[in-house]
Structure 1
Amino acid sequence: MKKVLLILAIVLSGNALRAQTPEKAKALLDEVYNKVKSYDNIFVDFKFDLKNTEAGINQETRGDVTLAGEKYVFNYLGSKQLFDGNKVYTIVPENEEVTIEDQSEDENAMTPSKMLTFYKEGHNYEWDILQDVQGRKIQYVKLTPIDSNTEIKSRLLGIDMGTKHIYRLIETGKNGTKTTITVNSFKTDQSLSSTLFTFDEAKYKDEGYYILRN
């Protein structure tokens, strides 16, 4: 009888712990979100890895983004994307081309302005593993999209428990593609140029760029 009661107690405590993990995970993400929102601006330098073994894809590159509210400047793969709060400007020096378009109205679209806040809505949460990365405690939260039609199977969001900043995002697609974004540098409240988020069309026209409006 004592053994039965002990086993029952272990099972019940395990179930209770699992039931608490969504709330525990959400509380941590809320803390991260509120901290992100408290900054006037954020600069992130990151490493980007894309792998799909079946398709023979293995790519690695770096990029950076400066965020201030919804505005951003995103440098990636030799191109620059700028959002001034109204229009998105994609500047490709290799082609000497600038594309001007409206911000996507798709709420599920991953834009640079959502890089540090996308987890706030649209996911179920689960407390995951804790890793030690060079003395830093990185707590992972598993995010499962509520929308079953999305191409994303799951996301693992690694939080630095010392700073409450995002350290790593591991995204697994239903097609087997795994995307990993690792933060190399995270700086806040920097002194920014007043024209950083301003697109100078005349400058690019003078340099011979083709301006395309969508």
Structure 2
Amino acid sequence: MKNSILALCAMILAISVSAQYDPKALQSLDAMSKKYKAIPAFEASISYVLTNDVEKVNEEFKGKITVKGDKFRLALPEQEVINNGSTVWTYLPEAKEVNIDNYDPGSEDVNPSKIYDIYKKGFKYLYLQDKTEGGVLCEEIDLVPEKKDAQYFKIKMFINKKDKSIQSWTMFDKGGNKYKYTISKFNPNVKIDDSFFAFDLKKYPGVEVVDLR
């Protein structure tokens, strides 16, 4: 266990030293950001995998995400997260409970509706290589936070080399957890009303409301 912790610390240090504001990475990231900003709203099927080699954790979930501007709705088997840009609802079907909180734009939590813009503030970025990810030729880019005490010490992005869409991104935290999101079945031609990005209590009778605001 001690050796694993030392190895993790060494890896974090090596990443911090090597990371920079790489112009080649910036060119790819800017093209990717421009692509998503031009889309009014989109839906995508996603897979979410949580792994921790030390703790022998390997969990996978599949779901769907809908994004419109600053708003998003992420539906996973065990929970649904809805964000209208000011309020966040986290619905837990098995517990029949919904937690309500204010959305904090300054939070270190990675907002799925802003993953294409995250590199613009508080991150260094480094182009690593062209690499095939999920059968697609991608540009592998690492984002490293400028703050040493940030929640995640690295975010790895795979950007489709041909059309600059996001193939996947993985967040690495200091506890050894890796959170990987992979996008599939991307649909950029959706029309979604703003009311979709709010939790309607009338549709969920008997659900307990936990207001954390």
For the criterion TM > 0.5, the same-fold answer is yes
Find the aligned partners of 2:55 and 2:163 in 1 and give their Cα distance: 37
Q: Secondary structure at the match of 2:196?
A: coil
- The match for 1:212 is 210
When residues 198 and 129 of structure 1 are mapped into structure 2, their CA distance, relative to the original with a 3 A threshold, is: same
Find the aligned partners of 1:146 and 1:47 in 2 and give their Cα distance: 28
Find the aligned partners of 2:173 and 2:81 in 1 and give their Cα distance: 25
Q: After superposition, what is the alpha-carbon deviation per residue over 1:15-56, rounded to whole angstroms, capped at 9, x for unaligned?
A: xxx9x9801111110111111111101212111122111112
1:158 deviation in Å? 0.5
Q: Is the 8 A contact 1:136 1:162 kept in 2?
A: no
Q: Is the 8 A contact 1:157 1:168 kept in 2?
A: yes
Give the TM-score normalised by structure 2. Answer: 0.81
- The match for 1:64 is 64
Aligned length: 194
When residues 175 and 78 of structure 1 are mapped into structure 2, their CA distance, relative to the original with a 3 A threshold, is: closer
Please tell me the root mean square deviation across aligned C-alpha atoms, in Å.
Answer: 2.3
Which protein has the larger Cα radius of gyration, Structure 1 or Structure 2?
Answer: 1
Find the aligned partners of 2:134 and 2:48 in 1 and give their Cα distance: 20
Find the aligned partners of 2:93 and 2:154 in 1 and give their Cα distance: 35
1:166 deviation in Å? 0.6
1:84 deviation in Å? 2.4
- Work out the percentage of aligned pairs sharing the same amino acid: 24
Q: After superposition, what is the alpha-carbon deviation per residue over 1:152-174, rounded to whole angstroms, capped at 9, x for unaligned?
A: 22222100011211101133333
1:79 deviation in Å? 1.8
When residues 107 and 97 of structure 1 are mapped into structure 2, their CA distance, relative to the original with a 3 A threshold, is: closer
Structure 2 residues not aligned, in runs of 5+: 1-17
Q: After superposition, what is the alpha-carbon deviation per residue over 1:87-131, rounded to whole angstroms, capped at 9, x for unaligned?
A: 212222211112222112534221232233322221111111212
- The match for 2:10 is none
Q: Secondary structure at the match of 2:195?
A: coil
1:41-190 superposed matches below 5 A: 41-133=41-133, 136-190=136-190
When residues 82 and 133 of structure 1 are mapped into structure 2, their CA distance, relative to the original with a 3 A threshold, is: closer
Find the aligned partners of 1:172 and 1:105 in 2 and give their Cα distance: 20
When residues 157 and 102 of structure 1 are mapped into structure 2, their CA distance, relative to the original with a 3 A threshold, is: same
Q: Which deviates more, 138-147 or 42-51?
A: 42-51
- The match for 2:12 is none
1:194 deviation in Å? 5.7
The residue type paired with residue 153 of structure 2 is K
Structure 1 residues not aligned, in runs of 5+: 1-17
Find the aligned partners of 1:86 and 1:98 in 2 and give their Cα distance: 16
Q: Is the 8 A contact 1:29 1:120 kept in 2?
A: no
The residue type paired with residue 208 of structure 1 is G
Find the aligned partners of 1:151 and 1:87 in 2 and give their Cα distance: 22
List structure 1 runs of 4+ shifted beyond 4 angstroms: none
Find the aligned partners of 1:92 and 1:141 in 2 and give their Cα distance: 34
1:133 deviation in Å? 4.5
- The match for 1:22 is 22
Q: Is the 8 A contact 1:32 1:164 kept in 2?
A: yes
